Amino acid sequence: MKETIPVRQGEELNEQKLEQFIGERLGIDGDLLISQFPSGHSNLTYLLTKGDWEAVLRRPPLGPVAAKAHDMERESNFLNKLHPVFPLAPKPYLFSKDESIIGSPFFIMERRRGVVLDTELPEDMLVTEELGKRISTKMVETLAALHAVDYKEAGLEEMTRPEGFLERQVYGWIKRYEKAKTDEVEGVEQLTNWLKNNLPQSGEAAVIHYDYKLNNMMFDHELEEIVGIFDWEMSTVGDPLADLGCAMGYWTQEDDPDFLKYGMGKPSLTVNKGFFTRQEFIEAYAAKSGRDVSDMPFYLTFAYFKLAVICQQIYYRYKKGQTNDSRFERMGEFVKGLITFASYQSQERV
């Protein structure tokens, strides 16, 4: 699979204005070439090339977006503070709120080179149990390292609200679901009531990515080390177990139901032998971080609900004709499956 594709119809950028802007703000001369990164279901991400210079541009999705969502300025500022103390976060170059350039706010950041994994390995590599264990271990270690960052020293305390994080998240995601409703989904009301009534006490706050998954990681070409982490739009300072739960919501395993493994197409690499199960990942994280993970059934339940809401928001945009991306047509059935699976996780705690 190619790393980039020609820009999708309807998602083009104004090349002339953007080329002039880059020349004036960054002093980079030459003709601008633009291609698009095909992965991702939320913000749009483009590769910018001028001669030997390369960078990545991120902008919000097309159409109306939820209040405070897809905040390019916040993501850029967050990375600007985090990058010096956690170099796996890419360095932002600049942010612009001038919508006359490409039609929305945007920011430009450094490009990293390496391998992004999702459903398959590069052609010259085979899936082995050793490789699965190594990738799993690196992801556990990196998540624990992120959660060990001193957010106060990094200056992130002033732009976040750690107190009451989990309660705000639960009620906020329930509200987001209500705003994005399309088809009726059985079991949603019972699930949301359970979440409200079973909130655990959060431990010490930490920097969280909140979209931590395999295809947001970049590995070196030997798949030995993680060299970059992307898509920081949901990052904040909050409950690290919510971050772990979110990561596990994306982490499929061999014995998962088919809808979870195949709901978005090909199954993730993590279903192969050697990759950790969710339980093994959680136990390895507990050993590495020293955190108590006994409340993980709640966090897993919330993670699947949160993932259902994200998919529902995407499906809502598709149903309203705000995006032409054909990948989103099957989101409705996937949402129903996620609500059922989240309800199953909640029964582990009852």
Instruction: Considering only residues 169 and 346, tell me which one the structure prediction assigns the higher pLDDT.
Output: 169
Give the span between the Cα atoms of 56 and 108, in whole angstroms: 6
**Residues 229, 339 within the same domain:** yes
Residue 349 has pLDDT above 70, yes or no: no
pLDDT beyond 70 at 279: yes
Q: What is the 3-state secondary structure (H, E, C) of the chain?
A: CCCCECCCCCCCCCHHHHHHHHHHHHCCCCCCEEEECCCCCCCEEEEEEECCEEEEEEECCCCCCCCCCCCHHHHHHHHHHHCCCCCCCCCEEEEECCHHHHCCCEEEEECCCCECCCCCCCCCCCCCHHHHHHHHHHHHHHHHHHHCCCCCCCCCHHHCCCCCHHHHHHHHHHHHHHHCCCCCCCCHHHHHHHHHHCCCCCCCCEEECCCCCHHHEEECCCCCCEEEECCCCCCEEECHHHHHHHHHHHCCCCCCCHHHHHCCCCCCHHHCCCCCCHHHHHHHHHHHHCCCCCCHHHHHHHHHHHHHHHHHHHHHHHHCCCCCCHHHHHHHHHHHHHHHHHHHHHCCCC
Question: How many structural domains are present in the chain?
Answer: 2
Quick one: 207 and 321 in the same domain? Answer: yes
Clarify whether residues 131 and 98 are in a common domain. Answer: no
121 lies in the same domain as 102? no
Token pair for 16: 């002339």
Greatest mean pLDDT range, 8-12, 84-88, 185-189: 84-88
Give the domain-ending residue among 63, 92, 110: 110
In a domain, 7, yes or no: no
Last residue of a domain, which of 87, 110, 133?
110
Residue 191 lies in a domain: yes
What tokens were used for 246?
Answer: 């979110």
Residues 195 and 326 in one domain: yes
Domain contains 140: yes
83 shares a domain with 197: no
pLDDT tens figures, 201-253: 999 999 999 999 999 999 999 999 999 999 999 999 999 999 999 999 999 99
State which of 56, 90, 110 marks the end of a domain.
110
Question: Does residue 306 carry a pLDDT above 80?
Answer: yes
User: Is residue 1 scored above 90 in pLDDT?
Assistant: no
The domain spanning residue 25 has which CATH number? 3.30.200.20
Cα separation, 55 vs 313, whole angstroms: 29
Angle, helices 165-179 vs 240-250, to 10°: value is 40
Closest CA to 115 of 107, 106, 105, 125: 125
In 3D space, the residue among 186, 232, 276 whose CA is nearest the CA of residue 90 turns out to be: 232
Least confident window among 40-44, 55-59, 123-127, 308-312? 40-44
- Judge if 99 and 207 occupy the same domain: no
330, 259 Cβ separation under 8 angstroms: no
Residue 84 falls inside a structural domain: yes
Whether 203 and 238 map to the same domain: the answer is yes
**Token pair belonging to 294:** 């006994």
Q: CATH number of the domain that 242 lies in? A: 3.90.1200.10
CA angle (243, 247, 250) in 5-degree steps = 145
**Both tokens assigned to 44:** 């749009």
Say whether both 293 and 237 belong to one domain.
yes
Q: Does residue 9 lie within any of the structural domains?
A: no
Q: Do 50 and 150 share a domain, yes or no?
A: no
Residue 6 lies in a domain: no
- How many CB atoms lie under 10 A from the CB of residue 42? 19
- Per-residue pLDDT averaged across 270-286, rounded? 98
> Domain for residue 10, yes or no?
no
**Can you give the pLDDT at residue 41?**
60
Same domain, 81 and 220: no
Domain range for 278: 115-347
Strand partners, 58: 45, 107
Mean pLDDT within 144-173: 96
Q: How far apart are CA 284 and CA 268, in angstroms?
A: 20
d(CA 279, CA 63): 39
Q: Which two tokens stand for residue 3?
A: 């790393």
Considering the domain architecture, whether residues 103 and 156 belong to the same structural domain is answered as no
pTM: 0.90
